[in-house]
Amino acid sequence: MQFEVPQFIEIEDKIFGPFTWRQFLYLGGGGGMAVVLLLTLPFFIAIIPAFLVGLFTAALAFYPVNNRPFSHFLEAMYNHYRRKRLYLWQQTREIVHKESFAPTTTVRNPIMLSPLNNQKKDITSLARRLELKAMEKKDI
């Protein structure tokens, strides 16, 4: 039995002419709000709010942000500003130069030459040198 696999499932269907259902609702609602503003307020006062409402609804209907609808962008922006934020300062540490030590004897055991074993020895010797330098500065 063969089944037809649907393709282009991310693209919304065009229902009202060239508009999708969502675009039609945005444009209808924004157009209705603009008409109500123009009918209730004096013409010269209502032009600016009606233009802003029309611009906003056109952005909702047609303007994608990062290939996503403008409504998703508005929702993310609202959630970002509504959420409490806690900023923590983290001190950055300076990198201390680590001197390389050459082994005095040749060791043929590969376990002894692993970087993990050398790292522990390097850290302890580095810590000891830093302590000695700090004690010398206190004496001066």
The token duo for 99 is 């001197």
Q: What is the pLDDT of residue 130?
A: 85
Domain boundaries, the chain: 14-73, 109-140
Q: What is the pLDDT of residue 84?
A: 85
pLDDT, tens digit (0-9, with 9 covering 90-100), for 7-51: 877 777 777 778 888 999 999 999 999 999 999 999 999 999 999
Q: Quick one: average pLDDT of 117-131? A: 75
- Residue in 124, 98, 102 with CA at minimum distance from that of residue 113: 102
CA dihedral (126, 127, 129, 133) positive or negative: positive
Q: What is the pTM of this model?
A: 0.53
- Residue in 118, 75, 114 with CA at minimum distance from that of residue 99: 118
Identity (one letter) of the amino acid at 23?
Answer: Q
Crossing angle between the packed helical segments 21-40 and 43-62, to the nearest 10 degrees: 170
Does position 102 have pLDDT exceeding 90, yes or no? Answer: no
